[in-house]
Amino acid sequence: MASPPKKSAAAQAAADAKVEPDLPNEFPDASEVVEAIVEPALEMQETVRNVTEKDVVESRAAFVKAEVSAKDAANGFELSFAAAKDGVLAFNAKAFAAVRANTEANLDFVKASLTAKSVSDVVALQSEFARKQTDAVVVQFQELAELAKNTVVETLQPIKDQVTKSFK
């Protein structure tokens, strides 16, 4: 067998230099390396924890505020519906009283007409009845209109108050 050719001393030194990498003579202490990595990680973890806790507190506060607003709005609508119900009942009672008064006036007119002695008495009774009924109906409509207006105002007031409160 033939032996491989021998390398010159310079070639051998170059080959030895390639095999040995440039390594520092001293390695850093492992605890220093771990500390250098862990310290920024702990700081980042603390920052994330603080931001998360702050967001949770703000979210809870926003939820409580939204819950209170929703309850206030529900209360406003309940008050509004109660006022509408009361107003409608009062309006119906007033309208029923007007119908009753008009019916009684009509019956009184019929009784008086039946007891009249002449046609001229009936005409006079008719004229007086028409005038009184016209005045009574005007007053009744004014009262009903005022009652309807008050009902609308009282119905919308709780909602108006809630909207005003919401925008403060």
pLDDT value at residue 156: 92
Residue at 86 is within a domain: yes
- In contact, 158 and 109? CB cutoff 8 Å: no
7 domain-assigned: no
Q: Is residue 136 part of a domain?
A: yes
Residues 87 and 93: their CA atoms lie apart, in Å, by 10
Instruction: Report the pLDDT value the prediction gives residue 168, as an integer from 0 to 100.
Output: 72
Q: Cα(81)–Cα(71) distance, rounded to whole angstroms? A: 15
- Residue 2 within a domain: no
CB burial of residue 94 (10 Å; 0-12, 13-18, 19+): middle
Please tell me the distance from the alpha carbon of residue 35 to that of residue 24, in angstroms, as a whole number. Answer: 21
What the block records as the tokens of 27 is 């390695």
**What pLDDT does residue 64 have?**
93
What is the number of domains present in the chain? 1
**Domain-embedded: residue 17:** no
Burial 57-66 (b: 16+ CB within 10 A, else e): eeeeeeeeee
Q: What is the pLDDT of residue 17?
A: 54
d(CA 56, CA 83): 40
The per-residue pLDDT for 42 is 84
Mean pLDDT, contiguous 10-residue spans, the chain (168 residues): 62 58 64 78 89 94 90 90 94 96 95 92 94 96 96 92 81
pLDDT for the residue 164: 85
Q: Is residue 47 part of a domain?
A: yes
DSSP 8-state secondary structure symbol assigned to residue 115:
T
pTM of the model: 0.62
115 in a structural domain: yes
109 Cβ neighbours under 8 A, 6+ residues apart: 125, 126, 129
pLDDT at position 124, please?
94
Q: Where are the alpha helices (DSSP H) in the chain?
A: 9-19, 30-114, 119-166
In terms of residue numbers, what domain contains 72?
Answer: 40-166
161 within some domain: yes
